[in-house]
């Protein structure tokens, strides 16, 4: 039984792991390329990345919610309805993406100014962010289309597209940032343009796969307003849950500016690198959570509560093992990572203790990400929303207090790892022990 569960988990988790690791490479490659332009450019990228990740991250429900609903319909034996639900999700992504792009470009100045960084850093951040917001629609479409395929138990196709898109991103960034020619040598702006073009190509590839599957099942590709509205309503709880997570990351960056005093470029640049690496590992640990969304949704859609429980127990065990492995690896490599992303010796020195703090928290993160995926797959978004609000209410004042009283980047990261991730651990493990999230059957669409 355990062997069968492991095969099912890793059949989905391994391709998801490789795809998820590839996704933050968009930012890692940007950081490596931009970091050698100079510390102000890297610090500007850090601020822009936080804003952009917040805007796009709030819409992660397009992947997570779509995965769960498509998987439930698949478990209930209705593949055509599963694809129809997915198509509705893609159209919702287009609608939200257009609104986000317009608002983001118009508000770039105030958003960057809110961080209170030095003038040169703020200028670089605004330059990157205005261009990067143009890639919002393809980014959100990528999320929705990936969610459709995961719900159909296909994590290999998103892997292929993610790897190809990331490779294209690196090539375009190198060419447009440093290369020669009429459209090359653009500096920081070239990095943003290259990423947008790579995201557009990736979105087109994923949509083509979803459209082909829909046509095979006789599912219409036209927007169904009732289905789009239903998807939007179902997403509200996940939006709140995601908003609390993104707000916590924004609070962390704000606390760094307070602790550094007048927004030190060294602290901000180091924080950007540390957060990018933490996000990289978070995506890696999230691979089992992606499998959890798809498998949990399918089992509950088929009414098999016992299987959902058994898979959850096993995935939590694998989450602990994965967290220990990533923590040991991060701690061991911490002295070597700084020179890869920055030529500033101050940034290199400060990065080591921050990464050690992040490494200690990895086993807890492994459990947190798995249970988050299980509850999303179960459609338990309301609980996740309330749990996220409670966690944020505790973490935000403590992070700011630590920055003001203790100062320094390391102190902020200690509070982030111990309080924020610790609170999430308590909230999720408490829920997983109950039966409240074990709701069976396919979701219904109402007017």
- Reading the block at residue 167, the tokens are 């490779």
Question: Residues for the chain: how many in total?
Answer: 447
Q: Give the residue ranges of the chain where pLDDT is below 50.
A: 262-263, 446-447
Element counts in the chain: helices (H) and strands (E): 18, 0
- Reading the block at residue 332, the tokens are 């061991």
Q: What is the pLDDT of residue 259?
A: 65
Q: What is the pLDDT of residue 265?
A: 77
DSSP letters spanning 151-189: HTT--HHHHHHHHHHHHHHHHHHHHHHH--STT---THH
Burial class (CB in 10 A: 0-12, 13-18, 19+), 433: exposed
Rg (CA), the chain: 21
Angle at CA of residue 82, ends 76 and 87, nearest 5°: 170
Q: What is the pLDDT of residues 26-66, one digit of tens each?
A: 666 777 888 778 888 888 888 888 888 778 877 888 888 89
Helix axes 188-216, 79-106, angle to 10 degrees: 160
Q: What is the pLDDT of residue 253?
A: 86
Count of Cβ atoms closer than 10 Å to residue 24 Cβ: 21
Whole-angstrom Cα distance, residue 427 to residue 441? 25
Whole-angstrom Cα distance, residue 398 to residue 377? 31
Count of Cβ atoms closer than 10 Å to residue 212 Cβ: 9
Q: What is the pLDDT of residue 446?
A: 46
In this prediction the pTM is: 0.81
* Sequence-distant (≥ 6) Cβ neighbours of residue 164 within 8 angstroms: 202, 205
Under the phi-then-psi rule, with left for phi > 0, alpha for psi from -120 to 50, and beta for the rest, what region is 434?
Answer: beta
- Are 239 and 384 spatial neighbours (Cβ–Cβ below 8 Å)? no
* Sequence-distant (≥ 6) Cβ neighbours of residue 71 within 8 angstroms: 82, 150, 151, 152, 153, 293, 294, 295, 296, 297, 298, 301, 377
DSSP letters spanning 254-286: HHHHHHHSS--HHHHHHHHHHHHHHHHHHHHHH
Looking up tokens 């129809």, which residue turns up?
84
- Reading the block at residue 371, the tokens are 């249970």
Q: What is the pLDDT of residue 142?
A: 94
**21 φ/ψ angles, rounded to the nearest 5 degrees:** -65, -35
């Amino acid at each position: 039984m355990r062997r069968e569960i492991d095969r099912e988990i890793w059949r989905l988790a391994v391709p998801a792991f490789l795809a998820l690791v590839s996704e933050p490479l968009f930012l890692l490659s940007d950081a490596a390329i931009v970091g050698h332009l100079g510390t102000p450019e890297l610090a500007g990228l850090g601020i822009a990345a936080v804003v952009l990740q917040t805007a796009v991250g709030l819409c992660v429900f397009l992947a997570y919610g779509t995965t769960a609903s498509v998987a439930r319909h698949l478990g209930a034996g209705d593949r055509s309805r599963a694809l129809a639900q997915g198509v509705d999700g893609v159209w919702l992504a287009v609608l939200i993406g257009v609104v986000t792009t317009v608002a983001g470009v118009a508000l770039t100045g105030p958003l960057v100014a809110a961080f209170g960084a030095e003038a040169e850093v703020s200028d670089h951040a605004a330059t990157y962010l205005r261009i990067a917001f143009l890639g919002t629609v393809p980014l959100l479409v990528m999320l929705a289309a990936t969610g459709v395929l995961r719900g159909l138990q296909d994590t290999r196709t998103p892997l292929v597209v993610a790897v190809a898109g990331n490779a294209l991103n690196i090539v375009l960034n190198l060419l447009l940032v440093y290369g020669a020619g009429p459209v090359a040598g653009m500096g920081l702006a070239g990095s943003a343009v290259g990423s947008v073009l790579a995201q557009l190509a990736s979105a087109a590839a994923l949509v083509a796969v979803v459209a082909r599957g829909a046509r095979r099942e006789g599912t219409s590709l036209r927007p169904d307003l009732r289905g789009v509205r239903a998807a939007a309503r179902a997403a509200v709880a996940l939006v709140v849950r995601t908003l609390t997570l993104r707000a916590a990351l924004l609070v962390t960056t704000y606390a760094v500016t307070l602790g550094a005093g007048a927004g030190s470029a060294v602290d901000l640049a180091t924080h950007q690198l540390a957060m990018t690496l933490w996000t990289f590992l978070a995506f890696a640990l999230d691979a089992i959570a992606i499998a959890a969304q798809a498998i949990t949704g399918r089992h509950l859609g088929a009414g098999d509560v016992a299987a959902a429980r058994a898979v959850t127990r096993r995935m939590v065990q694998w989450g602990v093992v994965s967290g220990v492995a990533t923590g040991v690896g991060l701690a061991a490599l911490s002295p070597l990572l700084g020179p890869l992303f920055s030529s500033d010796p101050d940034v290199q020195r400060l990065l080591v203790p921050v990464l050690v703090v992040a490494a200690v928290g990895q086993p807890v993160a492994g459990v947190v990400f798995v249970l988050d995926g299980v509850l999303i797959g179960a459609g338990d978004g309301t609980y996740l929303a309330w749990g996220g609000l409670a966690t944020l209410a505790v973490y935000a004042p403590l992070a700011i207090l630590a920055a003001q009283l203790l100062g320094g980047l390391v102190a902020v990261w200690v509070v982030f790892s111990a309080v924020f991730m610790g609170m999430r651990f308590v909230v999720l493990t408490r829920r997983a022990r109950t039966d409240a999230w074990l709701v069976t059957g396919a979701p219904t669409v109402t007017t």
